[in-house]
Amino acid sequence: MNFDPNGIGQKLHRHVSALFPIFRSITGEGMRQTLAYIGESIPLQIRQVPTGTPVLDWEVPQEWTVRGATLRRLNGDVVLDIADTNLHLVHYSHPVDRVVPIEELQAHLHSLPKQPDLVPYRTAYYANSWGFCLAERQRQALTDPAYHVSIDTELAPGVLNYGEMVLPGEGPDEVLFSIHCCHPSLANDNLSSIAIAIELAQRLERRARRRFTYRFLFAPGTIGAITWLHLNREVTARIRHGLVLSCLGDGGPPTYKRSRRENADIDRYVAYQLRAGGHGDRVRPFLPYGYDERQYCSPGFDLPVGCLTRTPNGEYPEYHTSADDLELVRPEALADSLALLCRLVDMIEADYVPLGTCLHGEPQLGRRGLYQAIGGQPIGADPSSRFDQLTLLWVINQADGTHSLLDIAERSGKPFAAVAAAAEALAAAGLLNRADPSPARASDRQAGDR
């Protein structure tokens, strides 16, 4: 999956820019517009689930429609208008149209005293409430005794929408990429991951061979993943690897939070890639807080799903504020995140558990054209080869049907790509077979089938 990082970075940033103005929430027209935009680039199936549908321990909420919202002085001067930034309105605010005393109004205002120029992002999905978000400097300027609050919204029965794209592979085992797409104008969280997922899906669609089936899920946070899990219990048994993608466009280094299992293959794959890129210290243990990985990793499902970000949620000052804008998201960071995911996919596709056909004694490599050392020379690298002789011998020795290619790479200290190339050469010579049609170990499958 090669590409020009400058060109692809700009392309990804254009996706972010196009999606930025849309007023998204967990339901409503903004979500449908976002899914429609994604569907212009990849074959997305858009689902809808009616309000009131029981989903696990939850229920699909009412659909929220927003027509406008302003805060005005009594002389008609506009103080706040969501036409200026759609972060101004607390999500799921119920309709209000009345004069509100300043004392009462203050209880419905949200600002950041330590970041006085930024507007925060706040929600009240499951509370009968309303409110405005504003900069602390704006809040301090509210000195009138009363203000006119006009919130033209509607909460009514409707639907929850989510979209998914499934790319069939040679086998039923699946790789899940889950992306929340319910936030309004927040470029890094969550538009960066939407843009990257679109491009990754397109590249996988063009891939000549896919061992795995790939599923891309674009859904509102929390309730979307819960709804999908409720409706797709039979699919969860096929998920062998999964990633929640978010915050992939800022200038920080990549960061990975492990799945609940802590040592699932996906945890090891991402950790390997981060170590190879000099970011081995950016692997973190599982924590039941964050994005939708906590739904996939709930104990009843316990799926092998981790979370990939750059700077994690809550750890950059622009997080969930008006500063999470188009300038925060960098084309080079978007391209780097996509490149990491492409390398990860290549690794997932290449890994398997090999079983040698000659287990008693070392096979004779010379007559098969695989022995490169001559005379008294030590075993070393052939510059024209993708792997050296020692890599070949490591694969032969470890190919007993219990070690994956990743196991061999980690034990030998050889690059995974070199181990995979050596295994390919041995397989071509009839010295290696697959011990298992899936790279998932028996222990991994048993955990997934609980």
Q: Which residue has the tokens 């689930």?
A: 49
Is 189 flagged in the annotation as binding?
A: yes
Is 77 flagged in the annotation as binding?
A: no
Residues ≥6 apart with Cβ < 8 Å to 263: none
Residues ≥6 apart with Cβ < 8 Å to 430: 357
Instruction: Check if the beta carbon of residue 247 is closer than 8 Å to that of residue 282.
Output: no
Instruction: Check if the beta carbon of residue 76 is closer than 8 Å to that of residue 69.
Output: no
Is 57 flagged in the annotation as binding?
A: no
SS3 call for 159: strand
* H or E segment to which residue 326 belongs: none
Q: Which residue has the tokens 């406008």?
A: 68
Q: Closest Cα partner for 246 from 188, 314, 315?
A: 188
Single-letter amino acid, residue 60: V
**402-426 residues labelled b (16+ CB within 10 A) or e (exposed):** ebbbbbbbbebebebbbbbbbbebb
Instruction: Show the DSSP H helices in 135-279 as ranges.
Output: 136-140, 193-206, 223-231, 233-236, 265-276
Q: Closest Cα partner for 244 from 303, 203, 332, 167?
A: 303
CA torsion through residues 97, 102, 103, 107, sign:
positive
- Binding-site residues, in ranges, read 183, 189, 320
- Binding-site residues for Zn(2+), in ranges, read 183, 189, 320
